[in-house]
Amino acid sequence: MQLYNTLSAEERAELIEQAGENRLTLSFYAYAKIEDPQQFRDDLFLAWNALDALGRIYVAHEGINAQMSVPASKFDEFRATLEEYDFMRGIRLNVAVEHDDLSFLKLTVKVRNKIVADGLNDDTFDVTNKGIHLKAKEFNELLADPNTVVVDFRNHYESEVGHFVGAITPDVDTFRESLPIIKEQLEEIKEEKNLLMYCTGGIRCEKASAYFKHHGFKNVYQLEGGIIEYTRQVKAEGLESKFIGKNFVFDHRLGERITDDVIANCHQCGKPCDTHVNCANEACHLLFIQCDECAEKMHGCCSDHCLEVIQLPEEEQKRLRQGVQKGNLIFKKGRSESLQFQKERNVFEEIKAVKVSTVTQIRKKQAEKKILVGVAQHYFTKVSVGQFEINKEIKVGDKIAIVGPTTGDERLTIEKMMVNGTEVKEAKEGDRMTMELNFRIRKNDQVYKIID
């Protein structure tokens, strides 16, 4: 009986690419009393593994919190696995605004003490006495009320790239840090003002609203379904989106575009940018914001030191990162001294947006002789196939250069390429393209179209 992953992320990516089937990225949560979380975890893994469902799921005595990728053709079967449990019958599934077939590459179901690390003692207050849930239209109306204070209960790296207009955006690394900060700052207005709160999918507000009501806040409201459901309703009902920028997500995508407002900047050069990346040095893996130009210059690294490291032989890199604990760095962007343009802001400071008609307008043109058209994602050694994320259209017959610190500057003409397991003549922006290569490439290598 298989209860854990047996495939690597690279192997799984290859299988997904070969299958050529669309997948849905979704999330959901439920607070419920679960007597045996370990058995519950094992049952879920067996059911979902059989459906080729992937994702990161936490279960605890208090419920379940899940972010997942599910084959579109098996969506109904997946929902049926949820319906087997009373507390998940009819549960809302927050379907992502933007899909990526490789958003998750493993099925990880973990038993935790809590499904969200809030640092609270639930025995000290009534966790079921929650705030009033608002739909998108109601949220917009209350947001416009001058007697309303709106608070973002996400972390600093989330709110930096996108938030609701006028929101308080705590400069914190974790959800648990924001609770006492906001409580102290709003103590004097807790009885007369409307406290309006939101988060990504709604789960953090479920506990936060009960916490603030316990501490004497009279008028507590929360966005039902969070930013994800709000965006769906805005599009379906033709409403104005009061959320600007990007919605940060905790999967391979690292963000989904909500509006064309860019409210952040590249942490290395200061130009308007809201593209999150993880440092290409696996011993670092720091999350930060990097524009295309800096990505080219720094080869996806956050510092000169990391740039030097990735140019070492792979075995030497593995030796250097043995025993290095990088987990605390992954979501601490803007905290590294090597990043010159990090944000320093007060908890109540509002970030002003840079409005652009299309996001690509903030990108500087590449050199005249070549155009950046993609970034390497994987190299499948067994079949000598490279996978690339395409950001500008390329086609069979184009001359390209694949450039990287260890790859060098390899030139070739595209003779054949695949998208979603199907041979195509051209790959468009957003496609995951694969092609056979007679040399090894590495993640974050840059792909350029050569202009004659």
pLDDT tens string 359-417? 333 333 333 367 889 999 888 877 788 999 999 999 999 999 998 766 777 889 999 99
User: Stretch 287-294: mean pLDDT, rounded?
Assistant: 92
Answer yes or no: is pLDDT of 191 > 60. yes
Answer yes or no: is pLDDT of 329 > 80. no
Q: Which of 312-321, 366-375, 443-452 has the lowest mean pLDDT?
A: 366-375
Supply φ then ψ for residue 259, to 5 degrees: -135, 170
- CB-facing half-sphere around the CA of 359: CA atoms within 13 A: 20
Bridge partner residues of 374 (DSSP): 390, 447
Taking the whole predicted model, whether its pTM rises above 0.75 is answered as: no
Cα 279 from chain centre:
15
Supply φ then ψ for residue 85, to 5 degrees: -110, 130
Reported residue count of the chain is 452
Residue percentage of the chain with pLDDT more than 70: 90
CA distance linking residue 260 with residue 357, whole number of Å: 6
User: Stretch 105-129: mean pLDDT, rounded?
Assistant: 90
The predicted structure's pLDDT at residue 181? 92
314: its two tokens: 């792979």
User: Stretch 350-362: mean pLDDT, rounded?
Assistant: 39
Answer yes or no: is pLDDT of 2 > 90. no
150, 198 in Cβ contact below 8 A?
yes
357 pLDDT band (50/70/90 cuts)? very low
User: Stretch 171-192: mean pLDDT, rounded?
Assistant: 91
218 or 12, greater pLDDT:
218
Answer yes or no: is pLDDT of 346 > 80. no
The predicted structure's pLDDT at residue 379? 86
> Any idea what DSSP says for residue 116?
S
The predicted structure's pLDDT at residue 443? 85
What 3-state class would DSSP assign to 3? coil
The predicted structure's pLDDT at residue 123? 85
The predicted structure's pLDDT at residue 331? 55
Catalytic residue numbers read 199
Answer yes or no: is pLDDT of 109 > 90. yes
27: its two tokens: 């999330």
328 pLDDT band (50/70/90 cuts)? low
CA torsion through residues 272, 276, 279, 284, sign: positive
The predicted structure's pLDDT at residue 41? 97
User: Stretch 205-221: mean pLDDT, rounded?
Assistant: 94
154 or 365, greater pLDDT:
154
42, 3 in Cβ contact below 8 A?
yes
147 pLDDT band (50/70/90 cuts)? very high
Q: Which of 449, 431, 204, 241 is nearest to 353 (CA)?
A: 241
The predicted structure's pLDDT at residue 40? 97
Answer yes or no: is pLDDT of 227 > 50. yes
32 pLDDT band (50/70/90 cuts)? very high
19 pLDDT band (50/70/90 cuts)? confident
The predicted structure's pLDDT at residue 332? 58
CA distance linking residue 65 with residue 52, whole number of Å: 19
Bridge partner residues of 60 (DSSP): 63
CA distance linking residue 23 with residue 13, whole number of Å: 12
The predicted structure's pLDDT at residue 350? 44
Q: Which of 375, 372, 398 is nearest to 387 (CA)?
A: 375
CA distance linking residue 360 with residue 362, whole number of Å: 5
For the CA atoms of the chain, what is the radius of gyration?
Answer: 23
338 pLDDT band (50/70/90 cuts)? confident
Count of beta carbons in the 10 Å neighbourhood of residue 4: 10
**Model confidence over 263-290: pLDDT tens digits?**
999 999 999 999 999 898 888 889 999 9
> Any idea what DSSP says for residue 414?
-
Residue percentage of the chain with pLDDT more than 90: 62
326 pLDDT band (50/70/90 cuts)? low
The predicted structure's pLDDT at residue 360? 34
13 pLDDT band (50/70/90 cuts)? confident
SS (H, E, C) 375-410: EEEEEECCCCEEEEEECCCEECCCEEEEEECCCEEE
